[in-house]
Amino acid sequence: MAAQEIPSVVVAKQHNAILLHAIDEAAVGAGLSIGLPLANARAICPELVVYDADPAADIKTLNDIADWCDRFTPLVALDPPYGLFLDITGCAHLFGGERALLQIVTNALSRRGFAVSAAIAGTSIAARTLTRHASGKIVADGEEAHAIGPLPVAALGADAAITSGLRRAGLKTIGDVAARAHHEITARFGADFTTLLSHALGQGDAPISPRKPLPDYIVEKRFPEPVSTDTVIAMTLQHLARMLVATMDRQGKGARQLEASFFRTDGAVRSIAVDTGRPVTKPEMIDRLFRERLDSLNDPLDPGFGFDLIRLAAGRTEIVVQQQRDLDATVHDNDELSALIDRIAARIGGKRVVVHLPLESHIPERSALAVPAQHHLAAAAQASWPERVAGEPPLRPLRLFDRPEPIKVPFATVPDGAPHQFTWRRALHAVVRVEGPERIAMEWWKQDGKSLTRDYFRVEDAEGQRFWIFRDGLYENELRDEAGEPVSANWYVHGLFA
């Protein structure tokens, strides 16, 4: 037997037995079938090549193919374990019609080494049924029952027990099953099978669930020859931004979420998304945001052998509220601030640009909430914070640590109050001024047996640095450091004053 004719199979463990999970054409020709025990398969074909199943890799490959299929329609849904649904309503004419589109998809995937079976029908279940025994068939809307009637009942993909029961009842084709009364089929095989049969016959359909939400607006540019230069890519994004803004402007909307997708000729797809704090209505702003995002990528945009499609989509839009901008300087300031935040967020990430909102809590680390500035800028501007007494130093530091950092305090210097010196980050600080203490009680129901109070002090060292430190607990336990000197436990620095 020639090397290229040696059967190959994929095996998986099911019910404590190793069974054939997938087979190639050579294995079919040798008399093997899916579900056959591996021992029996080796007895039939001793030279069998065996591979272990990798479900995670299969799902990743299916998702990669789905990404590639996004170039034909944004409505792509998974049909595990090996199938995809493409809703091509209204877009087949862009590729020369349904027949041409079917050939483009199947030929492209076949060239990449995949065995492809595809069909087009008015319902998703009818199309899936045709792929099993009538690949390449295109059925007009309303002709599903006539097209799938001659197919065997196994084409429905029902449970093996149901398929066997239909055959024992003498119902070998889908048309034979459809000829029987629905209540008879339901009584014998259940309502789920009756629903499956109805959808396959074109009598209603189960809605598909696209992998990605359908964007509000989409514009794209296809290239007869792949492009790869940065100049052409930048010019294309600028052109698409103008098209997108013009389309949204007709309905008085602006984009809050944008995504640029780059489809490579080898099937790889790269998507880059940016968010905005306010609806964007200017193409220049869209272009600038994507330039910031592209310049900050750790993994630069690799065109490979070139992009044959670039798409720009507005995933979320809002109605633009017209404001009086000629005389109101505040509006201009807010616009500039929002644009600045958007540019910084595009470069370093929206979660890293934050504003703080006050919370009702007396515990320092829980009295403010850090939230993305893009989406909470207006709330931060209207937030009400405790007023500072004129002429008095601030009671809380400008910089508060996420977690208090421990400090070393000589035990002899803390008889009752603040320490005379402390060591923080390996540096010794001599305290020259002290304010406090300010006692703050913790939430006793969340302490799990820990200390319930903190005594806070505002201290200044000899270098002029001001710290916010606290002692955790009402009393000190005598500890000793590596040199044997007594050390006061449970002291922390919680923040720094400007």
Collect all residues with Cβ–Cβ distance below 8 Å to 51 and sequence separation of at least 6: 8, 9, 10, 11
DSSP 3-state of 341: helix
**For the chain, percent of residues with pLDDT exceeding 90:** 43
β-bridge mates for residue 457, sequence order: 469
Among the residue ranges 192-196, 216-220, 298-302, 388-392, the one predicted with the least confidence is 388-392
CATH superfamily label, 217-321: DNA polymerase, Y-family, little finger domain (3.30.1490.100)
Q: What are the extents of the domains in the chain?
A: 3-53, 57-200, 217-321, 399-496
Q: Please say whether the structural domain 3-53 has been given the CATH code 3.40.1170.60.
A: yes
Give the CA distances from residue 167 to residues 31, 74, 420, in Å, rounded to whole numbers and listed in that order: 22, 40, 92
H-assigned helices in 33-92: 38-44, 55-69
Q: Compute, in degrees rounded to 10, the torsion defined by CA atoms 119, 124, 130, 135.
A: 20
Residues 28-56: what's their mean pLDDT? 91
Q: Decide: 53 and 44 in contact? Cβ < 8 Å.
A: no
Q: How confident is the model at residue 307 (pLDDT cuts 50, 70, 90)?
A: very high
Provide the CB-side half-sphere exposure for 5 (13 A, CA): 4
Q: Give the Cα separation of 261 and 310 in Å (integer).
A: 6
pLDDT digits (tens, 9 = 90+) for 3-36: 457 899 999 998 888 999 888 888 888 889 888 9
Give the CA distances from residue 488 to residues 214, 416, 425, 469, in Å, rounded to whole numbers and listed in that order: 61, 12, 16, 14
Residue 487 above 60 pLDDT?
no
Which amino acid is present at 157?
G
pLDDT digits (tens, 9 = 90+) for 423-480: 999 999 999 999 888 888 776 666 565 556 788 999 999 999 999 999 876 544 455 5
Q: Compute, in degrees rounded to 10, the torsion defined by CA atoms 452, 457, 462, 463.
A: 90
Its pTM stands at 0.72
Dig out the tokens for 180 from the structure: 């029987």
Collect all residues with Cβ–Cβ distance below 8 Å to 498 and sequence separation of at least 6: 397, 398, 399
Most confident segment among 79-83, 101-105, 209-213, 303-307: 101-105
Q: How confident is the model at residue 2 (pLDDT cuts 50, 70, 90)?
A: very low
Q: How confident is the model at residue 374 (pLDDT cuts 50, 70, 90)?
A: confident
- DSSP class of residue 308 equals E
Residue 413 above 90 pLDDT?
no
The phi-psi region of residue 436 (left if phi > 0; otherwise alpha if psi is between -120 and 50; otherwise beta) is left
